[in-house]
């Protein structure tokens, strides 16, 4: 994203990201996604607690010789919903690199 005084835009930088993905669903099909039961909406930013995706990746990584619980405990699952896409990222943290602050995000909680 590029800062432009005519638009309310910010730049997010995900720190020490592990993995990310972007694609479906968009806002027309978001209601059919499993995150809907957690209260996800279009055009918003979320942090997922007890993420199924992170738990799945952690279980796979447990087979690695240098597996580290400490590493996984330091990561977060972030979701940004756009009009046409859903962006997910597992990273240590994020920061804004523009002068506009980004303080609004929601927590989603999986009760597994």
pLDDT in tens, 21-53: 999 998 889 988 888 888 888 888 999 998 999
Residue 110 pLDDT: 65
Give the Cα separation of 72 and 89 in Å (integer): 13
Arithmetic mean of pLDDT, 65-77: 95
Task: Specify the pTM.
Answer: 0.82
Residue given tokens 């055009």 in the structure block:
43
Averaged confidence pLDDT in the chain: 85
E strands along the chain, which residues?
A: 12-15, 19-23, 44-49, 76-81, 86-91, 93-96, 106-109
Residue 112 pLDDT: 47
Arithmetic mean of pLDDT, 12-17: 92
């Amino acid at each position: 994203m590029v800062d432009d005084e005519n638009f309310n835009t910010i730049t997010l930088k995900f720190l020490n990201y592990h993995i990310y993905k972007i694609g479906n669903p968009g806002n027309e099909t978001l209601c059919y996604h499993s995150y809907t039961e957690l209260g996800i909406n279009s055009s918003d930013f979320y942090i997922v607690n007890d993420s199924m995706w992170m738990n799945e990746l952690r279980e796979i990584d447990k087979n690695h010789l240098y597996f580290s619980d400490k590493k996984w405990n330091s990561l977060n699952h972030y979701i940004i919903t756009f009009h046409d896409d859903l962006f997910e990222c597992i990273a240590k943290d994020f920061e804004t690199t523009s002068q506009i602050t980004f303080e609004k995000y929601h927590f989603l909680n999986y009760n597994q």
